[in-house]
Every structure is written in structure tokens, then in C-alpha cells.
Amino acid sequence: MAVNPKKATTVILLRNKEPAGYEIFLLRRHEKSSFMGGNFVYPGGRVDREDGSLELCSYSRGITYEDAHRILGRTSSPEESFAHWIAGIRELFEEAGILLAYDHAGNPFEYKNEEERRRFINYRDQLQKGNTTICQFAKESNILLALDQLHYYAHWITPEARSERFDTRFFLARHPEGQEASYDQKETIEGIWLSPQRALEENLNRKIALSPPTLKTLEDLSTFKTIDDVFTSLKKNVIHPILPTLTKISGEPTLLFPWDHEYEAFQRSDHPSSINHGRPSKPGANTTRLILREGIWYPYCRTK
């Protein structure tokens, strides 16, 4: 029986790269993590019950319950939909040290001095330890959480074969000026900025290990030249949930995406008599399946 997936949010943080292009912030999860241990992923985590509290509406700006409910497709309650935005702000701050917020005057949040920066580092630590809540933090800091700086991008669900599963909404955000992303040294042990193309290449070269959703979203993002191009594409983007199927082919763990033409057959456990993974993918391709070899997911394009 498949385990019910937990609600989660992840944030793809982008910054401009000189002289051209852009980079994305990736975190390496601790090797002992029960989920994606050792893999490079985006900042993110579970949606907590208090993330959807009505009180948080008073300490946030840009997205209402009704907005969130409409954007996520009305598959959950308004409160639960709204909670994904709050969780994105909270997890980005906890895991990457980046705070998307406005000050009391409505200006994008920036640290005024080193003393304030250290104070917010302490808030980050207290949030991670569960000694405060995102609502208390916003109230005491006199800030408004900038929900309109998170832009809904994708929806991934962990395969049914996994014992730990997540129903995750992916958001895009621009790296705010005056802040520096950093890993938390607890759940994550390294943080790096890479262009989508470079990240994909380093995965193939075994220098980093990308989780499957991270790999595929990086592949999609590698087709854009600038951050503005990425955000312009959102206007045309119709978001459908992606539920890969996990199986073994010739003894190798294999993940098939819904657009792989053998996806439905493997979902029915109706394995084809002959095996043909197609050709290895390159950046900009549309990978249809991933094969796990010695801890690295390798992308392939399988066509009819």
C-alpha cells in the first residue's frame, strides 16, 4: 500500500551571473538524511500546520487565501494552499538564510547593520530548533513576509514505491540584494551556486549528485538565457502534478516520467520484453527516464 505523501514546498533561488546568464542555489543534504541523503536539492521542507494560520495573513503581503487557492488549482483548502507560500518563506530562511520580506515601510528587506544581521541569524537558529514560530518572528521583527516574491513553478509527487513520500510545490524566487545564501550546517552540509547547464554537467561527471526533481527542473530551466526569460515563461505555464514511477530494469533502479511512452506499462508492472532506454540526455533535452548507477541519476530520452 502506498504511503500518503506529506505536503512540502521548495524554492528555486535564482541570481544573475556576470557577464551573462544566471545561477541557481543548491544545497547538499546530509548523508544521514532519511530522504535524498547526499543529494543536491533546492531549499525546502514540510508544510507545517501553523503555516496556514489566519494570523499570518496580518504579517504577510502579496498573496491571500483566495489567491493561493486559485493558483494551486483548488485541490486543497484555502488555508492549506496559503500555507505553501508561508512554508516556502520559512524554509528558505531556515535552510539558506535568505529572507523574502518587506520592512514596516514596505521596502524590500535589507540588513541595516551587522548587529541586525546577527539578530536575524539567531532567529534562523531558533526557528530551526522550534523555539519560535514564523508568526512570532515576523511580529517581533516588524516585517511582512513577501509572499508575492514566490512564483509557483512546478508540482512533484514522490513515487508510490518510496517509503517516505512528499507532495511538493516548487516556487521560483529572485535572490534579494544585500543578503547572502548559506547552508544551515545541520540538515545541509554544503551550498553552491551553479548555472543549470553546469549543474547538469557536474552530475554527469559525478562531481555532484542531483535528486530526480532537481535534475529535471534544472534541465527545463537550462533552456532559458536569463532570469527574465524564466519568469516570462510562467505566464504560459500550465502546471500539472508529476508522479514518476520507480521500478528496476536489468537490476538498475529506474525512474520513468509520465511523458515516457512506457510509463503506463511499468505502472501496471507490465514490463516490456526488450529493454531500450534510448539515448543519454544533454542539457536542454526532454529527459523521459533516469537510471541510478553508483549513487548518480543518469538522464535518458526514450522515444517511440
Edge-to-edge strand list for the sheet holding 245-249: 245-249, 252-256, 289-293, 296-301, 279-280
Nearest-angstrom CA–CA distance, 205 and 201: 6
1 belongs to a structural domain: no
Residue 189 has pLDDT above 90, yes or no: no
Is residue 14 within 8 Å of residue 230, measured between CB atoms? Answer: yes
Mean pLDDT of all residues in 106-134: 93
Instruction: For residue 119, give every residue at least 6 positions away whose Cβ sits within 8 Å of its Cβ, in sequence order, or none.
Output: none
CA dihedral 48, 50, 53, 58 (to 10 degrees): -100
- Render pLDDT for 202-250 as a digit per residue (tens, 0 to 9): 999 999 999 999 999 999 999 999 999 999 999 888 899 999 999 998 8
Which stretches within the chain are classed as H helix? 65-71, 78-96, 114-129, 134-141, 196-204, 212-221, 227-233, 263-267
Residue 304 has pLDDT above 80, yes or no: no
Can you give the pLDDT at residue 104? 85
Can you give the pLDDT at residue 144? 97
Domains in the chain, number: 2
Domain end residue (candidates: 213, 236, 259): 236
Q: What's the mean pLDDT when you consider all of the chain?
A: 92
CATH code (residue 156): 3.90.79.10
- Based on the fold, state whether residues 93 and 37 are members of the same structural domain: yes
Can you give the pLDDT at residue 122? 94
Q: Say which residue, 238 or 2, is predicted with more confidence.
A: 238
Q: Which domain holds residue 46?
A: 6-236
Mean pLDDT of all residues in 284-292: 91
Instruction: For residue 8, give every residue at least 6 positions away whose Cβ sits within 8 Å of its Cβ, in sequence order, or none.
Output: 44, 45, 46, 47, 87, 166, 167, 168, 169
Domain end residue (candidates: 216, 236, 256): 236
Residue 100 has pLDDT above 90, yes or no: yes
- Based on the fold, state whether residues 231 and 280 are members of the same structural domain: no
Q: Say which residue, 131 or 35, is predicted with more confidence.
A: 131
**Model's pTM, two decimal places?**
0.95
From the list 132, 80, 90, 131, the residue with the least C-alpha distance to 100 is 90
- Based on the fold, state whether residues 132 and 267 are members of the same structural domain: no
Residue 99 has pLDDT above 90, yes or no: yes
Give residue 178's identity as a one-letter amino acid code.
G
